[in-house]
Amino acid sequence: MRWAIEAGYRHIDTAGAYGNEKSVGLGIQQSGIERKKLFRDDKTAVGRYGPGEQMKGFENSLKLLQLDYVDLYMLHWPKEGKTLDSWKVLEDIYKSGRAKAIGVCNFTERHFTELFLHAKN
């Protein structure tokens, strides 16, 4: 990770499911780069969707990454019966300032439309 930053990489993508948060956090610290010069995104693992587990997962991710916030936090995949509640958790994280933006990935048009109809942010 440190070498990638030294080579000029500034957008760093992680996810709980990738298992790379600790090594990425260490690499960022070793690089000595200013936090504001990086764009960091992270994703909620599908197995952690829902209010209790999801918030614990997010807080653990910040701890492993050694960061106070991420630039973008996303739902990794849609999950029937869990997506809307999980989006509400993302809205709370956004309101707290610990994610500068929230979003989704791997959603189809149907999933995105359903979410759009219920999302506040």
CA 33 from chain centre, in angstroms, equals 20
Q: Is 88 exposed, middle or buried (0-12, 13-18, 19+ CB in 10 A)?
A: middle
Q: How many Cα atoms are found within 13 Å in the side-chain-facing hemisphere of 72? A: 14
Among residues 9, 18, 69, 94, the one annotated as catalytic is: 18
User: 9 an active-site residue?
Assistant: no
C-alpha to C-alpha distance for 5 and 103, rounded to whole angstroms: 25
Residues assigned a catalytic role: 18
